[in-house]
Structure 1
Amino acid sequence: MWITYAFILLIQLKKSFYNNYIFCSFKMDVFVSIVYKLMEEKYEDDFVDRMHYKYTPLIILLLGSVNIAKVYLGEAINCFQKAEFRSSWVQYSYSYCLIENTYFLRTNESIPLEYEVRKERQIAYYQWVPYILILQALIFYLPQLVWRSSNWFTGLHIGSFVQTFLKDKFGERIDENSRKVAKAIDGVTDIRHKYFGIIDVNRFVTILYFTMKIFNMIIVLVNMFIYGQFIGEHLFGLSVIKHSGEWRNSGLFPRVTVCDFTINRLGQETSYTVECVLPLNMLNEKIFVLLWYWMLVLLTANFINIINWIWGLSNRDKFYRTLQEFSDTRRKYQIYFSQIEKTDMLLNGSDEYSQSEAERVISTTYHNWDLYVAFRLIKANLNLYTTSKIFDFWCDQQKPYEDNIEDDKLLNIKE
């Protein structure tokens, strides 16, 4: 008889473990697919952007996978059982206390507490931590997704430009690729109309890019606020760091909690109060503290990065002169800088050139924000030499139309 009971119990345990294993395997498959998607290079941003949409979700998902493995393959909760509990009641108490939440009891307090106090002390985040982490990872990826979609709409396909050179691993067609990319950039940045009649097309991509960076900062702050909401009234996790290891009094990530439940016995409901151990809270504490520090790093890096971009936009001429220094020939770049000199002469009242020519030079070169953003992002994903090559051929596009036709003929002859 006892052998039969033991055999049935073994089958039930095996079935439970198998179901949990299948469920956890499904979760891990989802994680792997998301991680694979995150590992794909986009080539249209800088390192700080990748810290937000790539490395942060990877870190969060890694921590989330450890948590899920502990929940579904390990023991998420253990509760002290009464002597009269049957095996079915034991399993019921585990499941009930995990789903319906437990509450924290300080060392100098006794049971029972008032209902309002119990509700206030509930550990409501415990079973939701893996899903909170998954949601955070998706939120961090969202600004990059919007940036990519909007950037593609403008026609300034920076990612495609970069991939054109990456496919040519040995640089055998660097001149040809540089010419094609330069022509594409010139075709986009030379447009004179306005989107929606409000935003100048020569600044549209720049505004989109800075909007993404600002949203990244907002998301960091929102995630810190979310930590505070799920942990309790401890905004930004400062109290977690301060009281780490003092959970018995602070109530932050408590390891031991209390659970109330009722069992119907012979038509009468009997109330029970049991102590439960939450082993995952030791891990959760480390996860949230680590993420809080990582958010601080992101916030600092993004702030410095935005300041750097603003400074770069204000000093675009220095960036262009850097590209000039790495050019094979300086003759072609004289076109660009001579145009700026002509523009200065016109603005000072010279009659040597027409006003329409001045407007063309201003809008296409020195005052074009998107042009600077495009070249800087290309440089961030390739190198200075290749970017200078593209800039070299872009300057060729600023020559008179007849000269470009002759250059195209010469290129076709060489091919």
Structure 2
Amino acid sequence: MSVFSSRSSTQIDNYIFKLHSTVTIVILSICIVFVGMKQYFGDPIECLNAGSPQLTQAQMQHFCWMDGAFTSVYKYSGDPECLAEVTGLDNACPGAKSYHPHKGDLEMPQKHSQWVFYILCIQCILFYAPKYLWKRREAGRLQDLIDKLKDRHILQYEGLDRFLLVQDTSDVVLLGDELYSWFFFSELLYLLHIVMEIFFLNAFLDGKFLLLGFQWFQWLNSDNIDPLIRMFPRLTKCSFHKYGTSGSLETYDTICFMPLNIVNEKVFVMLWFWFMALLLATIYHVLIYRTFIISESWYRMERLAAVAPTADTSFLGEISEHPGRWFVMNTIAYNLKPYFFADLLDKLPKDHYVEIFRYDPKVSMKDFLVDGKVPFSSF
């Protein structure tokens, strides 16, 4: 790594990309490890013996894990989600009580636990998708250019190498509008995605996710039932129906412990706080900061002038008039030392041949050669 480089790696995105596609994926990956270890290498469910000589405890656990676990609540408690009974008197645990349909009890199936692991995996892919789109559309043009500029000072390049490097820089700057459009589109995707994630999890958890954090804070200072237990009960009921030897229907009832739900509840309360913070940061950046950047050219110019105070102000003003071109130069400035970037700017306004090549196909580089060589004295 050259002594002129200012950062260990080239950065062509911003903190929103890092929060969504790096930090969030790390958090989700940690959650996947804990959930996966408990689900596939531990005991996600443990059921008591149902008391049937033909039905083993292992068979009962498999059935309850796949399709049988449920909680029971009283329909006429005012709120079907409110478990009004007193634990230890009316029930063994919130949701685990005698089930009497004729008395108004409701059976609430508990099938969320099996899907948490897969949902977390899918979330990892979706959080990386906007960054992948940006890198595909950028196609390495901006990153490769910055790598070349970081490798050596512009004045350390000689002859044709310096000529081509300045031309490459000018070409990428002129492509700034296209690059900036895809960059901004990726940021919009991040905003749309985090909103959809919150509403999807709310639907997945039967409407319990959207206000989870507020309800959890209220529970800390009250005697109400933990809202996390409503989402992921630690104790459930399970009923297995089979025909006996005489053809009559037999029902075997048992209580099941849900150790996996202790992990799941911690995962989702943590995700609620992180997703809400991520949503606020993304709304601010995309809807407020990015709108301000696009609409205010004077601020764009001040950003460039701050890292290159000795540069030609008229040239900085010309670049800052175009948000896309400013985006390219600002990204380059972010990755280079200030004096390194200032020397690069000093070369660009002298590079008039770029505009001529782009808009006049009749003119070629050969027209600028003297005795078969490029007149570098003008650069």
TM-score by length of 2: 0.73
Change (3 A) 1:408 1:278: farther
Instruction: Give 1:221-300 correspondences, 5 Å limit.
Output: 221-236=195-210, 237-238=212-213, 239-240=215-216, 242-243=218-219, 246-247=225-226, 251-263=230-242, 265-266=244-245, 268=247, 269-300=249-280
Q: Is the 8 A contact 2:236 2:256 kept in 1?
A: yes
Instruction: Give 1:163-242 correspondences, 5 Å limit.
Output: 163-165=147-149, 168=151, 171=152, 176=157, 182-190=166-174, 203-236=177-210, 237-238=212-213, 239-240=215-216, 242=218
The SS at the match of 2:71 is coil
Q: Of the candidates 315, 319, 328, which is equivalent to residue 374 of structure 1?
A: 328
Return the offset for 1:258. 1.1
Change (3 A) 1:165 1:322: same
Q: Write the deviation string for residues 234-269 of structure 1: whole angstroms up to 9, x where unpaired.
A: 242344554478248962221111112234554745
Q: Of the candidates 29, 45, 57, which is equivalent to residue 25 of structure 2?
A: 57
The SS at the match of 1:273 is strand
Q: Is the 8 A contact 1:379 1:387 kept in 2?
A: yes
Could you list the runs of 5+ residues in structure 2 that have no partner in the other structure?
1-7, 73-82, 92-96, 357-364
2:65 corresponds in structure 1 to 98
Name whichever structure is richer in helix by fraction. 1
Return the offset for 1:369. 2.0
TM-score by length of 1: 0.67
Cα distance between partner residues in 2 of 1:49 and 1:264: 58
Q: Of the candidates 374, 382, 390, which is equivalent to residue 344 of structure 2?
A: 390
Return the offset for 1:320. 3.8
The SS at the match of 1:103 is strand
The structure whose RCO (Cα within 8 Å, separation 6+) is larger is 2
Percent identity of the aligned residues?
18
Q: Write the deviation string for residues 274-328 of structure 1: whole angstroms up to 9, x where unpaired.
A: 1111112122111111111111221122223232233233344444455446549
Return the offset for 1:97. 1.0
Q: Write the deviation string for residues 75-129 of structure 1: whole angstroms up to 9, x where unpaired.
A: 100112134446x62111111111115212344474334499756x112210111
Q: Is the 8 A contact 1:312 1:319 kept in 2?
A: yes
1:81 corresponds in structure 2 to 49
Cα distance between partner residues in 2 of 1:98 and 1:411: 78
Q: How well do the aligned residues superpose, as a CA RMSD in angstroms?
A: 3.8
Letter in 2 for 1:225: F
Q: Does 1:44 align with 2:5?
A: no
Q: Does 1:157 align with 2:141?
A: yes
Change (3 A) 1:391 1:248: closer
Change (3 A) 1:136 1:41: farther
Q: Is the 8 A contact 1:124 1:230 kept in 2?
A: no
Q: Write the deviation string for residues 320-340 of structure 1: whole angstroms up to 9, x where unpaired.
A: 45544654964xx26626xx6
The SS at the match of 2:70 is coil
Q: Is the 8 A contact 1:175 1:389 kept in 2?
A: no
The SS at the match of 1:251 is helix
Cα distance between partner residues in 2 of 1:83 and 1:111: 17
Q: Does 1:143 align with 2:130?
A: yes
Change (3 A) 1:385 1:113: farther
Letter in 1 for 2:324: D
The SS at the match of 1:104 is strand
Return the offset for 1:395. 2.3
Cα distance between partner residues in 2 of 1:125 and 1:202: 46
Change (3 A) 1:178 1:113: farther
Change (3 A) 1:389 1:305: farther
Q: Is the 8 A contact 1:248 1:254 kept in 2?
A: no
Q: Is the 8 A contact 1:151 1:157 kept in 2?
A: yes
Q: Is the 8 A contact 2:219 2:227 kept in 1?
A: no
Q: Does 1:67 align with 2:35?
A: yes
Cα distance between partner residues in 1 of 2:25 and 2:50: 43
Q: Is the 8 A contact 2:70 2:109 kept in 1?
A: yes
Change (3 A) 1:134 1:72: same
Return the offset for 1:379. 3.2
Change (3 A) 1:301 1:258: same
Paired residues in the alignment total 329
Return the offset for 1:378. 2.8
